[in-house]
Structure 1
Amino acid sequence: MWAQEVEEILPKAIRALFTIMPKGKKDEIQEIRIRLHQPLEVRFSQSGLYVSGPRFTTDYRDAYICTREDCMQMLQAISNHSIYAIEEQLRQGYVTVAGGHRVGMTGKVIAETNKIRTIQNVTSFNIRIARQVKGIATHLLPMLYDSIRKRPYHTLIVSPPQCGKTTLLRDVIREMSLGNEHYHIPGHKVAVVDERSEIAGSINGVPQCDLGPRTDVLDACPKVEGMMLLIRSMSPQIIAVDEIGTSADALAIDEVIHAGVQLITTVHAHSIEELLGRPTINDMLQKKIFERYVVLGRTPTVGTIIGVYDKNRLKLTQRGAGVG
């Protein structure tokens, strides 16, 4: 669904184009790309088009060309007219705005001792539109919850980029926090380490997305440090993080599991077989740390659930509904 918060941060001239655009066209947009002196581009799940007035076009020569004034207005809007206020976020290369939408930026990097201090002269913006789709995890709950031991399974969501893994993770968190009477699943204390502010979309520490009534969020915190902090301070039953892959992640996950906490996380890959070629993830697979794998794909549509697998990587389901 199109988000009014996105329209409000757009530069005046670009906002006018989207204001007169039919809502049905806007609802499927995933990204808006603003680049100085380049055509205004929008990205959908599997393609990109240029914006020409209230319509889309494949011909960049017909598209609206982004101006320096557009870039200046965009920066002022996302910083609330105070660049100093977003200096820390500029170091990360993105700013999270109201509604949980994320604006990535590039420009001239100012670095000190090989670390980014800030980004100046911002000339490119990537507005990633956050979409919370409630209920997409509901039909998976019986496969993600151990009804004998009365706890969720350690779960890994496997997905190619931009196939809905974070959207699905977000709804699994919400469902486990809320509980589901139909499936006899009680509500759980869930703690989230939201390293890139993508899961909860927090603004000033306040989640913009609904993660359930029993969920605590550590925003903009490195995964490893965050998982250790949550174990010590929040007595969670479930810890959720996005995009694991490093050896440090693996060590932290080991601590989580040995603390008796359930883990729900994600990884970028096209299949479980692809993970076997990554030493750190392969080691976790061989140890059978994860009891459930949910694999997403692009066929027949982006976000299709290819299957749910057990700890032995045996399929529990056939290809089914998606997360889009």
Structure 2
Amino acid sequence: MKDASYLLLCLQILPEGIRQNLLKHPKRGDLLEVVLDLGRRPEARFLKHRGGEYLRDNEITRDDLQAAEAAVGEFGSDNRAGIEGTLHRISAIRNRKGVIIGLTCRVGRAVTGHVDMVRDLLDCGKSILFLGRPGVGKTTVIREIARVLADDLRKRVVVVDTSNEIGGDGDVPHPAIGGARRMQVPDPSMQHRVMVEAVENHMPQVVIVDEIGTEAEALACRTIAERGVMLVATAHGQTLENIIKNPTLSDLVGGIQTVTLGDDEARARGTQKTVLERKAPPTFSILIEMRERSHWIAHQSDKSVDNLLQGKQPVVEMRTRDENFRVVIEKRLYDKEEHERSDVSSLVMASKSSIKLGSSLFQEENNWVSKIGTLFKFLEIEKVASFLKQATFPTKMRWPRTG
């Protein structure tokens, strides 16, 4: 009943029929978000399920959106709003005139247990940066980390909560962050100022911030780290290489610079005279790629960056869970192409059960040609080539005749 009441707080802005359908839905416990777009049918999306489900035959009208907007109240300059006392988030899409033509109602949950994946790293007190695609659970993880650091490790923790996603909406933080203090940010463009203000005014041992995305925020992170304060943050990107190649965020892992070597040194290294090297110590000593919710790759930032710039494979820790939900840590060489292969493999697995071509499903062994065609249609050629090198094809596959 408690879960239903909490879910109802998120659904209360929806039209009555949609709300009732969702409250009775067998997968309501896995509800991720509800999408309302003008002129389209309302759609629900669920955790662990690809695609969405339409909630009614009728399309969303302007009256539906206006009623929802009135129920939400005021949106921030980032077109986000929340529901007081909860972790739910409502985001708006506007037309060129500023009128709302779409809403995304995302269900926020205080999920526990993820911190076990990095508990040993928290004990060492080094700054940690989390990367991962949207929806993989980055904010959920740093929310739980805030609670563990404040309550279990008795650290002075300040959460810089730009969109109130970590500590929820309202002036009183959600219990999910435990005893951590929370500083709200008037406007997203001021996030870097509030980060520095937190250190200057409130003497935290740990600062936690979501979505580092600008050069000013990256510089604020370095300023904080140089004062001996531990940082836990997320950033835009999925892999370490994304950050290295991003001129705005590369400083988070030390930045890169072009160096000209002498003839003897270039010969000794077996490289060209002009090479790329790390410019400074990383702001974040540890970087974690969240491939899936229970599949993480942990980097020692300085060593991994140096190795990647030299064309070598760094040693990383692959952190997963076994069938008993216990954390398994395995040291291995980093495979930067694994992420792309995982994306391709996931699409192929989905194609077997859910991708439709005409009126038939991809279920038979002799449909591999069609599947590969689908990959060429939706993915980059490099990813397809990488997949084909490792794919196991049916032994009785019959290729179609041509000509």
TM-score for the superposition, normalised by structure 2: 0.64
Identity %: 24
1:48-127 to structure 2, matched below 5 A, reads 48-52=51-55, 63-79=57-73, 86=74, 89-98=75-84, 99-108=86-95, 119-120=98-99, 122-127=100-105
Letter in 2 for 1:159: G
SS at the partner of 2:114? Answer: coil
1:1-324 to structure 2, matched below 5 A, reads 3-22=7-26, 25-45=27-47, 47-52=50-55, 63-79=57-73, 86=74, 89-98=75-84, 99-108=86-95, 119-120=98-99, 122-146=100-124, 152-179=125-152, 186-203=153-170, 205-220=171-186, 222-286=190-254, 287-298=281-292, 303-311=293-301, 312-313=303-304, 315=315, 317-321=317-321
Pair 1:34–1:261, CA change in 2 (3 A)? same
Deviation, structure 1 residue 64:
4.0
Pair 1:52–1:33, CA change in 2 (3 A)? closer
Deviation, structure 1 residue 109:
5.1
Pair 1:319–1:231, CA change in 2 (3 A)? closer
Contact 2:43 2:55 in 1 (8 A): no
Contact 1:294 1:305 in 2 (8 A): no
Contact 1:100 1:209 in 2 (8 A): no
Deviation, structure 1 residue 143:
2.1
1:124-170: CA deviations, max 9, x gaps?
A: 11101112112310341112321xxxxx1111111122211111111
Deviation, structure 1 residue 209:
4.8
1:265-301: CA deviations, max 9, x gaps?
A: 1112221122211123323323222111221014xxx
The whole-number CA distance in structure 2 between the counterparts of 1:276 and 1:232 is 29
Pair 1:244–1:42, CA change in 2 (3 A)? same
Contact 2:286 2:300 in 1 (8 A): yes
Contact 1:155 1:294 in 2 (8 A): yes
TM-score for the superposition, normalised by structure 1: 0.78
SS at the partner of 1:207? Answer: coil
Deviation, structure 1 residue 214:
3.6
**Which runs of 5 or more residues in structure 2 are unaligned?**
255-280, 305-313, 326-403
Contact 2:207 2:231 in 1 (8 A): yes
**Which runs of 5 or more residues in structure 1 are unaligned?**
54-62, 80-85, 111-118, 147-151, 180-185
Deviation, structure 1 residue 39:
0.7
Pair 1:209–1:4, CA change in 2 (3 A)? farther
Contact 1:31 1:127 in 2 (8 A): yes
Contact 1:307 1:315 in 2 (8 A): no
After superposing on structure 2, the runs of 4+ consecutive aligned residues of structure 1 that deviate more than 6 Å are: none
Pair 1:193–1:174, CA change in 2 (3 A)? same
SS at the partner of 2:41? Answer: coil
Pair 1:244–1:90, CA change in 2 (3 A)? closer
The higher radius of gyration belongs to 2
Deviation, structure 1 residue 28:
1.7
Contact 2:295 2:320 in 1 (8 A): yes
The residue aligned with 2:310 is none
1:49-101: CA deviations, max 9, x gaps?
A: 23246xxxxxxxxx34223332232122212xxxxxx2xx3533121113121
Q: CA RMSD in A?
A: 2.3
Contact 2:41 2:55 in 1 (8 A): no
